[in-house]
Structure 1
């Protein structure tokens, strides 16, 4: 008997956020494994093509609102279908689902920094998250930092959580093809030298302080002002404030906002950057710094966040709440080629610790443990109990 897993694939819809990258890389890794599961991606709109996931089924259940779809169409499909388990990778799950489910909660930012989220997110996610977390058979989170915070804010025991780290995708590596770099330069009209920041443009990403730090320490420095600030990422909310700030500071020619950039262009963009800066106020993992390090780009990121755990000694760190500290670190790194080269080498060592080839089997093992705990003979026939590793044949090239 083949076990069937339903997977909420709506994070794959464009524009794709960090959670979308997590979802896509996890599904890509599943697709390369030999296992006994039937995986089905469900979404409320057609997924962008091509996803290149030939071994994973795809089903569209049309509905305009993703949130309402989750609690109606998706829930009804799971209840009526022959699914054994559902996985929700984006911090929310339907409260009326009777079948077991795994819930990935990426961070506790809704509790730590509620002012950095729009009211719609507070209503649709924060209000329902405690109940969804309690009802989940198991919660996956992406760092020990996130687990500790979620245990505190959700008042749940440690046994409810499994930490499964993310990783940079295999495509994130230094791009050395001159033609590919030239094509990228032409496509985006890139400056010769630039600082890069990547992430959905919303208050939690702390872009106003980054822009202020750039204005104070880089734009007015006669040795460093040749470095432009390139901001990449889909519009979340609050972007109008950024535009006004850039104009007020007279930086319209020095701060370049590219908006959403397709995943295929990101490795070359990271490679071209002189420095990657990610001063986010709060992350559960912080995937962009790891992607930048995998491409050989020195990274400056935030103290007091999960990035300290994830990036370890592969990055430089600053206080994200202090403009002076952000700016001073940027200026120091841009002025010191040896330090940037050292960070590049240490970044490669750090990213080698993380792999979707480990993340995917570890996530499947969570499914195994949940289904084994139900003590159904069919489940135990296909999965080993929690005390034993899940036997999966790897088919990575």
Structure 2
């Protein structure tokens, strides 16, 4: 095989899966899928056998899964959050990024990412000025607009979209909910994490006011954003923060922690910034204010566009020889 090959195993409703769907469908270059089995997220996948690739072939991955046997591979590293995970789990990520990922990136001489926050983190991690770190940005589905149906609820609710990983900081929202009244939480999480959210809500005594939602498409998610008093995004660290973008694009403010730079850049005044990521009373006050006085925010214009992102990715792959 020669030309541009794509590791097209990145699928799903999560951030990288959605990024892959939007970008791959817009590439202006002819490409073929590698047709690999298994998961690109396994460290052992990095050393797998590949189809017979010509020396000039370029492999593109819309995620961070390295393939060390590819002649040249361009990765999209969305963030380096895994390198901040707790011990001892962090050890395997340090080995994986320090080994296969760094090797692939340096050999390609180019790596893509989705925000300037992530670009700066990748440059610090690589410590190699010969590698061009390209911020291709991110896009937002056309479904996320203030116009359209909205969720109708008997009680005001705040919306959380994400997962239960520690850096998402869902716990502060549950603790805040416990010191409020008349407000519900709707948590959109992967189906496999639904029970964890319910159990956490039960520990905080708020299970009766937490609705867990999974498996929604963009149209349904947009309805949930529009119907919310606010979206809560208490993340401690993000490479981009897609739920924040989707929320403001839908006209709904975002309650967030000021110290999470990537999210703060996206929100850009379209929602209250908390000074303390873990102060449940500060979060509770912001949630109460949002429920008592709902307001719409103006969506960003022209900044986050999938066509623009796919164009930068296409141009970068052309430079890499794909």
Structure with the larger RCO, 1 or 2 (CA within 8 Å, 6+ apart) = 2
User: What secondary structure sits across from 1:231 in the alignment?
Assistant: strand
- Residues 4, 322 of structure 1: alpha-carbon distance in 2 compared, 3 angstrom cutoff: farther
1:353 alignment counterpart: 303
1:290 alignment counterpart: 245
Equivalent position to 1:333, from 264, 268, 290: 290
User: What secondary structure sits across from 1:366 in the alignment?
Assistant: helix
- Residues 127, 163 of structure 1: alpha-carbon distance in 2 compared, 3 angstrom cutoff: same
2:105 alignment counterpart: 133
- Residues 264, 4 of structure 1: alpha-carbon distance in 2 compared, 3 angstrom cutoff: farther
- C-alpha separation between the residues in 1 aligned to 2:282 and 2:53? 55
Q: Deviations over 1:188-209 (max 9, x none)?
A: xx65431111113322211111
- C-alpha separation between the residues in 2 aligned to 1:84 and 1:119? 33
Equivalent position to 2:19, from 19, 22, 30: 22
Equivalent position to 2:227, from 243, 258, 272: 272
- Residues 102, 64 of structure 1: alpha-carbon distance in 2 compared, 3 angstrom cutoff: closer
Q: Deviations over 1:287-325 (max 9, x none)?
A: 111111111212122322211223323333223243333
- C-alpha separation between the residues in 2 aligned to 1:150 and 1:105? 8
**2:33 is aligned with 1:41:** yes
Is contact 1:209-1:323 (8 Å) kept? yes
- C-alpha separation between the residues in 1 aligned to 2:222 and 2:24? 20
**Unmatched 5+ residue regions in structure 2?**
none
- C-alpha separation between the residues in 2 aligned to 1:260 and 1:116? 31
- C-alpha separation between the residues in 2 aligned to 1:268 and 1:161? 36
**2:126 is aligned with 1:154:** yes
Structure with the higher fraction of residues in helix conformation = 1
Larger of the two Rg values belongs to structure: 1
Matches within 5 A, 1:225-236: 225=182, 227-234=183-190
- C-alpha separation between the residues in 1 aligned to 2:122 and 2:186? 33
User: What secondary structure sits across from 1:197 in the alignment?
Assistant: strand
User: What secondary structure sits across from 2:143 in the alignment?
Assistant: coil
Matches within 5 A, 1:157-168: 157=129, 159-168=131-140
- C-alpha separation between the residues in 1 aligned to 2:102 and 2:185? 39
Deviation at 1:83, TM superposition (A): 7.1
Deviation at 1:158, TM superposition (A): 7.7
Is contact 1:278-1:302 (8 Å) kept? yes
1:104 alignment counterpart: 76
- C-alpha separation between the residues in 2 aligned to 1:364 and 1:121? 32
**Unmatched 5+ residue regions in structure 1?**
43-59, 220-224, 372-378, 380-397
Given the two structures, how large is their TM-score scaled by the length of structure 1?
0.71
What is the CA RMSD across the aligned residues, in angstroms? 2.9
- Residues 125, 195 of structure 1: alpha-carbon distance in 2 compared, 3 angstrom cutoff: farther
Equivalent position to 1:61, from 36, 41, 44: 36
User: What secondary structure sits across from 2:112 in the alignment?
Assistant: strand
1:300 alignment counterpart: 255
Q: How many residues align?
A: 317
